[in-house]
Amino acid sequence: MKTILEQITAAMEEAFEACGYESRFAKVSLSNRPDLCEYQCNGALAAAKTYHKAPIQIASDVAEKLQNHPMFLDAAAAAPGFLNLKLSGNYLAGYLNRMMQEERLGCEPIGADKSVIIDYGGPNVAKPLHVGHLRAAIIGESLKRIYRYNGYQVIGDVHLGDWGLQMGLIIEETRSRHPELPYFDEAFTGDYPSDPPFTISDLEEIYPTASAKAKQDETFAKAAHDATVKLQKGNPGYQAIFRHILAVSIADLKKNYARLKVDFDIWKGESDAQPYIPDMIEKMKQDGLLYESQGALVVDVKEDTDTKEIPPCIVQKSDGASLYATTDLATLVEREKLYHPDEVLYVVDKRQDMHFTQVFRTARKASIIRPETKLTFLGFGTMNGKDGKPFKTREGGVMRLEHLIRDINEAVYARIMENREISEEDAHEISQIIGLAALKYGDLSNQATKDYVFDVDRFTSFEGNTGPYILYTMVRIKSILGKYRAASGNAELPKALSDAKSSSEKELQLLLSRANDVIAAACAEIAPHRLCQYIYEVSNAFNKFYHETKILGEEDGEKQKGWIALLSASLTVLADCIDLLGFEAPEKM
Ligand code: ARG
């Protein structure tokens, strides 16, 4: 369905035309003077030149036309030529009632027949997830849901970091500990064991140990390098270990992502792209894109309009090895071949900006993607500690994701237990739900590109612009609806909203009527923070209405029904939005 803004604009266009003015002047926006009006149109100011008339004259003509219009309670011309609009209660309630009947709050499926791959994982196999991967997961998961809501066909790809020296390090370290294993016996011809020779905790210890060892021990470093090359050339024993590393790591990653309510449609990795590299490079050579620079093969990607230096994209090192950029290019070859996406969206640390500029330009020059395929890089900022530096543990190390989640849940648990009568078991369960909301909202409420300060106390507060505050509002609504249901013998809840009776009720209705517009904007602007901003406003408006209105005590049954419908609508809007942000509300808190 049309957004409310589109509907108002259409009515305004009609009025402009009826007065003999072009409809292009009838642009309507949200009021920036809420004390005076709800929507406004400044078109008369722009039209004045064209028609050689005073703006106020034009505005008055249009206002005149809008008298008794069913959409407006008030349409007034104001000096020097504004049109101040207030919606009629009947029209507004009618819009909301239709919106509630529509699927997805009447959000137009603008993305129908378009497909998007979102690359938002990037965890490195055999290394634990850390906070660096947290933002990618939180933002990417939300975008995946927002795109889907807007009709797009979305594939979320974890894009594992499963290629490179870390594999050789693990293989070499495993060999030094268990040289007797068949993987290292070149003459072995049987089936390799199906059980892995290590657990995830082993891997988490093996990798750092091997990595440290390689820094001190040149022979070991060389052996690890050779093992990497051997693996990449297809050595069967090493391939078998590699599959074990992948299986063990992926099982653990899935568990951790599930805790974050993050999931991926495909579990591909850098290693899957490797088979595409030789042909890709060959074609680039034939197209004359590659040239040699200090032994390496590079593609020039600078453009005349660049304001800073964009160095050539290195596609092959002098020793013939491929690099991060090579893998990302080959991944695009694979994605184009298998999925033919209309857009590929990367949600990665903004410090990788240059890398993606080089990769995107090379992909276009080499026609790896179709000219109309959109490549988007959403570079997110850093999560900092209170000291303004990248977030660390108290000991100064890299914070593991599961520890971070544990800390948040404990903080929420303490808050719940402070002053509530609730069983410990319930409190534990609920604090996980609220903890996730605190974490995700704390992240998503900031513009993704900006750095932000991770502050457990603030994020877990039940007041202010926080996840728990939003949940608290929703639980409050649920509780009123529950009481109403019980009192009315569990009949179905009334659905029809009625004309707003107070300014706080109208304010809430006005906000709710914008839900589909805001969700579409969050998608178009790749901006989940727009949703946070919006549900914070909705929650504030709801709480104001709630404090001013005796809902359950109301004796006029019709009045009460309208309010109950308004509460349901508020809950629906909030529930849809938090689902798009990737968290949910408990039944009580
Ligand atoms: N594994 C990389 C890292 O940890 C992130 C990968 C991001 N995605 C991509 N297609 N390059 O930094």
DSSP 349-375: EGGGHHHHHHHHHHHHHTTSS-TT-EE
What percentage of the chain reaches a pLDDT higher than 90?
Answer: 89
**What DSSP state is assigned to residue 198?**
S
**Which residues share a beta bridge with 348?**
379
Strands 153-157 and 290-293: unpaired
Which of 118, 124, 360 to probe ligand 1 with, by most ligand atoms within 8 A of CB? Answer: 124
Q: Where in 3-110 does DSSP place strands (E)? A: 28-30, 39-41, 72-78, 82-87
- Mean pLDDT of the 27-48 span: 96
Neighbours of 497 (CB within 10 A): 27
Protein residue closest via CA to atom 5 of ligand 1: 122
Q: Is the CB of 328 under 6 A from ligand 1?
A: yes
Give CA–CA dist 434/468, Å, rounded. 6
Whether the predicted pLDDT of 344 surpasses 90: yes
N-terminal to C-terminal alpha carbon distance within the chain: 36
Whether the predicted pLDDT of 483 surpasses 80: yes
CB proximity list for 492: less than 8 A, separation 6 or greater: none
Q: How many Å lie between the centroid of ligand 1 and the Cα of residue 354?
A: 13
Protein residue closest via CA to atom 8 of ligand 1: 122
Q: How many Å lie between the centroid of ligand 1 and the Cα of residue 434?
A: 29
Whether the predicted pLDDT of 421 surpasses 80: no
Protein residue closest via CA to atom 3 of ligand 1: 122
Q: How many Å lie between the centroid of ligand 1 and the Cα of residue 286?
A: 29
Task: Dump pLDDT digits (tens) for 215-233.
Answer: 999 999 999 999 998 998 8
Whether the predicted pLDDT of 395 surpasses 90: no
For ligand 1, what atom is nearest to the CA of residue 124?
A: 1
- Mean pLDDT of the 31-42 span: 95
pLDDT for the residue 2: 97
Protein residue closest via CA to atom 7 of ligand 1: 122
Q: Residue 235 — pLDDT band, cuts 50, 70, 90?
A: very high
Amino acid at residue number 232: Q
For ligand 1, what atom is nearest to the CA of residue 349?
A: 12
Quote the Cα angle for 331-336-337, to 5°: 95
Protein residue closest via CA to atom 6 of ligand 1: 122
**What DSSP state is assigned to residue 296?**
E
Task: Dump pLDDT digits (tens) for 315-330.
Answer: 999 988 889 999 999 9
Q: Using an 8 Å Cβ cutoff, are 130 and 400 in contact?
A: yes
Q: Residue 490 — pLDDT band, cuts 50, 70, 90?
A: confident
Q: Is the CB of 348 under 6 A from ligand 1?
A: yes
Distances (CA, A) of 397 to 208, 313, 390, 394: 13, 33, 11, 7
For ligand 1, what atom is nearest to the CA of residue 133?
A: 4
Strands 313-316 and 296-299: antiparallel
**What DSSP state is assigned to residue 461?**
-
Q: Residue 128 — pLDDT band, cuts 50, 70, 90?
A: confident
Whether the predicted pLDDT of 496 surpasses 80: yes
Task: Dump pLDDT digits (tens) for 516-558.
Answer: 999 999 999 999 999 999 999 999 999 999 999 999 999 999 9
- Mean pLDDT of the 187-213 span: 93
Which of 352, 356, 358, 382 to probe ligand 1 with, by most ligand atoms within 8 A of CB? Answer: 352
Helix (H, G, I), strand (E, B), or coil: what is residue 68?
Answer: coil
Q: Is the CB of 346 under 6 A from ligand 1?
A: yes
User: What value does the mean pLDDT of the chain take?
Assistant: 95
Protein residue closest via CA to atom 2 of ligand 1: 122
**Residues shown for the chain:** 589
Q: Is the CB of 326 under 6 A from ligand 1?
A: no
Task: Dump pLDDT digits (tens) for 131-153.
Answer: 879 999 999 999 999 999 999 99
Protein residue closest via CA to atom 12 of ligand 1: 122
pLDDT for the residue 295: 93
pLDDT for the residue 232: 86
Quote the Cα angle for 190-191-195, to 5°: 140
Protein residue closest via CA to atom 1 of ligand 1: 122
| Spacing of C-alpha 258 from chain mean position | 16
550 CB-contact burial (10 Å; exposed 0-12 / middle 13-18 / buried 19+)? exposed
Task: Dump pLDDT digits (tens) for 252-310.
Answer: 999 999 999 999 999 999 999 999 999 999 999 999 999 999 999 999 999 999 999 99
**b/e per residue 394-403 (b: at least 16 CB within 10 A):** eeeeebbbee
274 CB-contact burial (10 Å; exposed 0-12 / middle 13-18 / buried 19+)? middle
Q: How many Å lie between the centroid of ligand 1 and the Cα of residue 348?
A: 7
Q: Which of these ranges, 144-148, 171-175, 234-238, 386-390, has the smallest mean pLDDT? A: 386-390
CB proximity list for 215: less than 8 A, separation 6 or greater: 221
Neighbours of 205 (CB within 10 A): 13
Protein residue closest via CA to atom 10 of ligand 1: 328
Protein residue closest via CA to atom 11 of ligand 1: 328
Q: How many Å lie between the centroid of ligand 1 and the Cα of residue 461?
A: 33
Q: How many Å lie between the centroid of ligand 1 and the Cα of residue 160?
A: 8
Q: Is the CB of 159 under 6 A from ligand 1?
A: yes
Q: How many Å lie between the centroid of ligand 1 and the Cα of residue 522?
A: 24
Which of 120, 125, 139, 159 to probe ligand 1 with, by most ligand atoms within 8 A of CB? Answer: 159
Whether the predicted pLDDT of 420 surpasses 80: no
Neighbours of 327 (CB within 10 A): 23
Q: How many Å lie between the centroid of ligand 1 and the Cα of residue 122?
A: 4
For ligand 1, what atom is nearest to the CA of residue 324?
A: 11
User: Which residue ranges form the domains of the chain, and what is each CATH number?
Assistant: 4-87 (3.30.1360.70), 165-259 (no CATH), 269-380 (3.40.50.620)
pLDDT for the residue 474: 98
Q: Residue 130 — pLDDT band, cuts 50, 70, 90?
A: confident
